[in-house]
């Protein structure tokens, strides 16, 4: 597999440092031709086989970055890929697996990207005991405080969030906001206060922000995926409704706004095109679910959009246009893609097992 080791692009640095070093490149991204980024989530179970293929695709396509929306490892029991590639894994205790699982994510998933920009969001499986928010922040601080994020934090000044699971960065006139709704104490007052400040600054006519993209693990309430989303707990439903309305207001104010989640292991677009939101807002906020980076694959809910797809692996590529509008396209991965990009110690029979099975069926789990 070809794994590119790319430095942080000059394009990205220019966007973050406000033209300080290379205004020509910044202008090309912010006002010229379209550019792309990639996003998906949920790489537990078989992600050590799927994520290297995603890395090969997004680096080859020269996307600006890859955004992972959480659930890196299963944590409640060993992942199939981990068992297949780790000698003696079957004899290790659950506690020993948990001690090593995040290192496996770094070694067999993140390492596939080399120096290519990757941003991380926190999923509910990153909160499986004994894992904690503080432990997550410490382990993945290099991703949570990437140069782009650190530069944005400096620009935000006193309103900046500390290094942690929620953060944002602005690139090419788009504000990318990573939210944390992985646990039942979210959205907390602290996160809501921070988000309100970010959106207020985006809405300032001098901000230069034309689009807002929010990425989170669980979809906001009342989506087509509401059976497995923030609807599952009272605080989540209440604060999720508030956050949706904030994003709707930003859209009504003239910003292009998009909401992306994972958590459900399928691809589903137009997730807020539901009776609940259509009755309450003039135009629903565009949203999608993309939880297809290796996790056990679910069947689609009956309310899913006709363009939704289940039992696949892949990611979504967003194409940002000069006016800030963004088109999203699903990129599916074949078994051949997984084989071509595999680690040397990844058994072909285990890859095949993950590609053919690792899914629900109408009769149950397969």
Give residue 253's pLDDT: 97
Give residue 24's pLDDT: 28
3-state secondary structure at position 357:
coil
pTM over 0.95: no
Give residue 366's pLDDT: 62
Give residue 282's pLDDT: 86
Give residue 214's pLDDT: 99
Give residue 321's pLDDT: 98
Three-point CA angle 166, 169, 173, nearest 5°: 140
Domain boundaries, the chain: 36-359
Q: Output the CA torsion 210→214→215→221 (10° steps).
A: -150
Give residue 303's pLDDT: 95
DSSP state at residue 182? S
Splitting the chain (366 residues) into consecutive groups of 10 residues, what average pLDDT does each group show? Answer: 34 34 35 89 98 98 98 97 93 95 98 98 97 97 98 97 98 98 98 98 97 98 97 98 98 98 98 96 95 98 97 98 98 98 98 97 66
Q: Which residues, in sequence order, are CB contacts of 345 under 8 Å at separation 6+?
A: 85
Q: Strand 35-40 vs strand 364-365: parallel, antiparallel, or unpaired?
A: unpaired
- Please, what is the angle between helix 147-156 and helix 189-203, to 10°? 80
**In which residue are the tokens 């690139």 written?**
171
Q: Indicate the class that CATH gives domain 36-359.
A: alpha beta
Give residue 296's pLDDT: 98
Largest Cα–Cα distance in the chain? Answer: 60
Give residue 25's pLDDT: 32
Give residue 364's pLDDT: 60
Q: Are 203 and 218 in contact (CB under 8 A)?
A: no
**In which residue are the tokens 């508030």 written?**
242
């Amino acid at each position: 597999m070809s794994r590119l080791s790319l430095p942080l692009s000059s394009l990205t640095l220019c966007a973050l440092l406000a033209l300080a070093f290379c205004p020509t490149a910044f202008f090309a991204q912010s006002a010229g031709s379209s550019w792309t980024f990639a996003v998906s989530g949920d790489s537990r179970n078989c992600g050590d086989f799927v994520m290297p293929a995603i890395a090969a695709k997004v680096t080859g396509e020269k996307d600006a970055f890859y955004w992972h929306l959480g659930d890196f490892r299963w944590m409640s029991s060993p992942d199939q890929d981990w068992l297949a590639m780790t000698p003696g894994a079957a004899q290790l205790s659950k506690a020993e697996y948990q001690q090593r699982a995040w290192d496996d994510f770094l070694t067999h998933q993140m390492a596939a990207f080399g120096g290519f920009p990757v941003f991380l969001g926190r999923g509910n499986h990153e909160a499986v005991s004994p894992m904690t928010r503080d432990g997550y922040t410490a382990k993945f601080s290099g991703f949570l405080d990437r140069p782009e994020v650190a530069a944005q934090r400096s620009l935000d000044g006193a309103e900046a969030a500390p290094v942690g699971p929620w953060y944002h960065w602005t690139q090419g006139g788009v504000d990318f906001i990573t939210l944390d709704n992985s646990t039942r104490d979210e959205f907390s007052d602290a996160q809501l206060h921070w988000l309100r400040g970010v959106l207020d600054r985006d809405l300032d006519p001098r901000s230069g922000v034309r689009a807002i993209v929010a990425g989170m693990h669980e979809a906001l309430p009342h989506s087509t995926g509401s059976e497995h989303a923030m609807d599952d707990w009272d605080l989540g439903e209440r604060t999720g409704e508030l956050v949706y309305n904030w994003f709707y207001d930003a859209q009504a104010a003239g910003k292009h706004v998009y909401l992306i989640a994972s958590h459900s292991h399928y691809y589903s677009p137009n997730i807020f095109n539901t009776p609940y939101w259509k009755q309450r807002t003039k135009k629903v906020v565009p949203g999608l679910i993309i939880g297809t980076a290796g996790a056990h694959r679910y069947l689609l809910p009956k309310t899913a959009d006709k363009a939704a797809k289940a039992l696949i692996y892949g990611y979504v590529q967003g194409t940002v246009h000069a006016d800030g509008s963004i088109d999203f396209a699903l990129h599916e991965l074949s078994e051949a893609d997984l084989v071509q990009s595999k680690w040397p110690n990844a058994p072909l029979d285990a890859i095949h097992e993950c590609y053919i099975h690792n899914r629900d069926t109408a009769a149950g789990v397969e």
